[in-house]
Amino acid sequence: MATQPSGQRKLQILQALAAMLEHPKGEKITTAALARRLEVSEAALYRHFASKAQMFEGLIDFIETSVFGLINQITERQHDGLAQACDILAMLLHFAANNPGMTRVLIGDALVGEDERLQQRMNGFYDRVELALKGALRQAAADAAAAPGPGGDQERDIAAHASLMVAFVVGRWHRYAKSGFALSPAQDANAQIALLLR
């Protein structure tokens, strides 16, 4: 690891941490265990990250950049509100299926016992996802011209629907992680999403 540029070393550390998170029944994730996996000293880890919390922040940065980049692509490409919501939900489920270690960060499982600000940051992530879904649902309501604009009841319905969708996604992520990554969150996703968007 000594001959690699700093950016590559950081990426290698984060990839190793994510790989360790894919084994929920494996050894406890400590900086010592991470250093052993990378065959470096703990001091070498701390040259790149000030703390283990900062390593988890690196994973959260990856999650946020990836997910919100994809949401932006969906909303730019897809103008139909219901199709946006459908694509966002499917993307969230597939993201977890493709990144099992990150799923433990998404549900907060990997953050238990870590710095409280990490879970607060994930709570903010959920809020931003819900906001994106509200936007898609508002677009769908405008597309359908079901009501004369976002007023009291319609706005409450949109908020409740978006909250339900986030709860669905988080529930699928939990089931995936708690099954030891055996039950893919994307399994039967299209049928379940169709039911949510009726």
CATH number at residue 111: 1.10.357.10
Look up residue 97 and give its two tokens: 């299926």
pLDDT at 28: 75
DSSP symbols for 140-185: HHHHHT-SSSS-HHHHHHHHHHHHHHHHHHHHHHHHHHHTTS-S-T
Judge whether 96 lies within some domain.
yes
C-alpha distance from residue 165 to each of 8, 77, 137, 161 (Å)? 37, 21, 11, 6
Judge whether 108 lies within some domain.
yes
Tell me how far apart the alpha carbons of residues 173 and 102 are, in angstroms, rounded to a whole number.
10
Judge whether 143 lies within some domain.
yes
Judge whether 1 lies within some domain.
no
Judge whether 46 lies within some domain.
no
Number of domains in the chain: 1
pLDDT at 144: 81
pLDDT at 153: 83
pLDDT at 182: 94
Judge whether 151 lies within some domain.
yes
- Give, for all 198 residues of the chain, the pLDDT tens digit: 445 667 788 999 999 999 999 986 756 788 999 999 999 999 989 999 999 999 999 999 999 999 999 999 999 999 999 999 999 999 999 999 999 999 999 999 999 888 999 999 999 999 999 999 999 999 999 988 654 455 558 889 999 999 999 999 999 999 999 999 999 999 999 999 999 998
0.85 exceeded by the pTM?
yes
Nearest CA among 91, 61, 53, 55 for reference residue 73: 91
Which residue range is the domain that position 144 belongs to? 52-197
Judge whether 45 lies within some domain.
no
pLDDT at 151: 53
DSSP symbols for 4-54: S-HHHHHHHHHHHHHHHHT-TTSS---HHHHHHHHTS-HHHHHTT-SSHHH
Judge whether 168 lies within some domain.
yes
